[in-house]
Structure 1
Amino acid sequence: MTVERAVSLGGLAVLLAGFVAVSIWTPGSSGFFPPCPVHALTGLYCPGCGSTRMLYYLAHAQPWTAFRQNPLGFVILPFLVPAMILSALELPPPAAVRRVMAVHGYRLVIALLVVVTVYTVLRNLPAAPFCQLAPGGC
């Protein structure tokens, strides 16, 4: 088993376990889920803050409320899960994806890092409309 496959299988297992857990327990009120350590220590929202609640609302068929908990996570999830499944099954990505990654792979990684950084800064600004990016909005 390759390291990449092990990481993908582990990530899928954690995602599935989290989805099952949020189907059973309510984040924030059950005491089952720990708070975000970044938010607990700094008071700032990290890029992942709100992801547990996002999964909770997706598990309970409330996509708009899920989106409001973590907009970036909501947008990335439909791309991340299939990529993890393909990697876990050791299947190659579609040809179009391979071509794009061969030409723009490094730039896409840099662009994603920039998007995540800007998102993190904006969601911590206390003024509208940026505070809408924080978990639950303003």
Structure 2
Amino acid sequence: MNIKLKPVLYFIFAALTFALAYFYFNYNPSALSIFPKCPFYSITGLYCPGCGSQRAIHQFLHGHVLEGLKHNFLILILVTVLIYDGTLFLLNLYTKKSFNNLLHQSRITKLMLILILLFWFFRNINFYPFTILAP
């Protein structure tokens, strides 16, 4: 990739991220029908691992972490991964030292896949305490 193109791509990515954050901060997915509905839930009536994520993001952006977690517990893992990846990206970009990403190990990838599949399975069991996992 052209070295001169990289800063432009970083700027575009940052601008899109801030635009999405602005949109989700100012508009509540629970109250507006312009937000896309989950196709898996619409077809099957079952929750996918991502169901409730839009509402969780809205609540997180307003500082309501516990309310956001009620919509989707996996958001916590997503936020952790994004912070970790972003930190490593900036460290590798601005320091002379090279840091390896631990998330790129096959054991970690398999563990995350297992966690997501278990979450998907358990959030669709319709009795307590599994109903806590439903959005």
Q: TM-score range by the shorter chain?
A: 0.7 to 0.9
Q: Report how many residues are paired.
A: 127
Q: Which deviates the most, 15-24 or 49-58? A: 15-24
Aligned counterparts of 1:88 and 1:27: Cα–Cα separation in 2? 32
- TM-score, reference length from structure 2: 0.75
Aligned structure 1 segments of 4 or more residues deviating by more than 4 angstroms: 8-15, 84-90, 99-102
Aligned counterparts of 1:99 and 1:24: Cα–Cα separation in 2? 34
Amino acid at match of 1:35: K
For CA contacts below 8 A with separation 6 or more, give which structure has more relative contact order: 1
Alpha-carbon offset, residue 116 of structure 1: 0.5
Aligned counterparts of 2:77 and 2:129: Cα–Cα separation in 1? 18
Identity %: 28
Q: Is the 8 A contact 1:18 1:52 kept in 2?
A: no
1:40-51 counterparts in 2 under 5 A?
Answer: 40-51=42-53
Q: Is the 8 A contact 2:102 2:108 kept in 1?
A: no
Aligned counterparts of 2:106 and 2:45: Cα–Cα separation in 1? 32
Give yes or no for the alignment of 1:30 onto 2:36. Answer: no
Aligned counterparts of 1:112 and 1:12: Cα–Cα separation in 2? 26
Q: Is the 8 A contact 2:88 2:101 kept in 1?
A: no
Alpha-carbon offset, residue 67 of structure 1: 0.9
Give deviations 1:6-54, integer Å, cap 9, x for gaps: xx96876665433211211111321221111111111111111111001
Could you say what the CA RMSD is over the residues aligned between the two structures, in angstroms? 3.3
Partner SS, residue 115 of structure 1: helix
- Alpha-carbon spacing, 1:90–1:99, altered in 2? closer, same or farther (3 Å): closer
Q: Is the 8 A contact 1:54 1:74 kept in 2?
A: no
Partner of 1:122: 122
Give 5+ residue unaligned stretches, structure 2: none
Amino acid at match of 2:108: L
